[in-house]
Amino acid sequence: MVTLKVLKKFQDKDNKEKIYQVGETLSTSDLDRVNNLVSRGICSISAIKEANKEEKKPEKISLFDKEFEIGAVKGALAEIGVSINKNAGVQAITNKLGELTEEQNKALSEILCKE
């Protein structure tokens, strides 16, 4: 998110009724707009803030007609002796699950589905 300070009066491109007066500030995350306004001398950059990152939801894998968090599946794979990278994503884990034997699948099911 970039905060701009208005140097020259201008009309908002999206809301034609909004006129920005000299000294006002506006915030936008549209870098093309920031570059345009700054290069034309209409605004100057007064602050750059890292946008609030959305809370990252844990990735899930569907297995045995249920959904499991990726960490739980990695842990269960380790318990049955199947090695997988700590930073493996959904695709890598799905590929590894496809390589399991019936016995490994049964053991994995018992570990994940015990409640």
Cα separation, 95 vs 73, in Å, equals: 13
Tokens of 68: 């499991």
Amino acid 86: pLDDT: 81
Cα separation, 111 vs 115, in Å, equals: 9
* Average per-residue pLDDT for the chain: 86
Which regions in the chain score pLDDT beneath 70?
Answer: 51-57, 115
The tens digit of pLDDT for each residue in 6-33 reads 999 999 888 889 999 999 999 998 899 9
Where do the structural domains in the chain lie, given as residue ranges? 2-48, 60-113
Tokens of 75: 């842990």
